[in-house]
Structure 1
Amino acid sequence: MLAEAPPSVNRRHSCGCRSYAWYHSWGEGDVVTKPPYEITSHTADIGLVIRGTDMAELLVNGGYALNAIQFEQPPLGRDISREIRVESTGTDTLLVDWLNELLYMFVGEGLVFSRFKAMDVSGASAVLLCEGEQYDPSRHAVVRDIKAATYHMAGVRCTDEGYEARVILDV
């Protein structure tokens, strides 16, 4: 049975998280042992700042930014055309949902896109026309495996030039 660790054994790691001593109750008093986990530091994220004169251009530029990070050379083919609809809960999350949809199209359907055109962007929804081709490892060398765009610290703000968004990619 696990007992509650007293506050005195509560300490902070260099990464800022808290570590608690591992307490086991065996009937003869509490025994402190090493916890069955380790907390390690890693850099598994890439931050992006994306700009556009309006939300439509911001989403389009987000697609190109994703390609620039993911592939050694940007995809060029335009054999396949897809209309992608994205519904979100707000403008801050619309970009994240759009990038995750592109990642799904790559992983789930094997599609890489070379061109993006915003057809309709209003509020927290968007329709974009994407042109591309089937993924071919001989032509589309992946330099970073991107797992997801995250909502952590995601945001869109208005600037004098238009819009600026920040998003973190989990790699």
Structure 2
Amino acid sequence: MSERYEPVIVGFLCNWCSYRAADLAGTSRLHYAPNMRPIRVMCSGRVDPQFVLKALREGADGVLIAGCHPGECHYVEGNIKALRRYILLKRMLRQLGVEEERVQLVWASASEGNVLAEAVNRMTEQLRALGPLRWRETVLSGDGYRPSPVPQRAAPAAEEV
């Protein structure tokens, strides 16, 4: 019997919009992948890149950050801050050798349960195609940094001495 790989997604959901969208998706009986572990945050702008890296390091195959639409943030520009951090985080992941698709950002208002459900389904399929994240093998060390080896200089030839 072959088991189908089910990725683990950690979802950082804005309290004011996206978390309520997830609630709406559930009460509306929308079908979406059950493998997202939601974490309610007061604002998507409060999601520190270290939270995302820790989730990946601790076994998540992907991270979904969901917030209010730009211009609709309860904290005025928290979602713009989230977007800036997301761009930097994707660049960092690229340098670490981790596929960029493993971290995604989506805007979903409280009335858009279908948008959040579609984002979770889409991300689940993308992660299934990528396979499990092997953090230690991909990044090579526990803290995500491994300096490149310094090339050794060849010993001088006998004639040069």
From the two aligned structures, give the one with the greater helix fraction. Answer: 2
Rg (Cα) greater in structure: 1
Give the TM-score, by structure 2 length: 0.25
Q: TM-score, normalised by structure 1?
A: 0.24
Q: Select the structure that is richer in strand.
A: 1
Work out which structure has the larger RCO, using CA pairs closer than 8 Å and 6 or more positions apart in sequence: 2
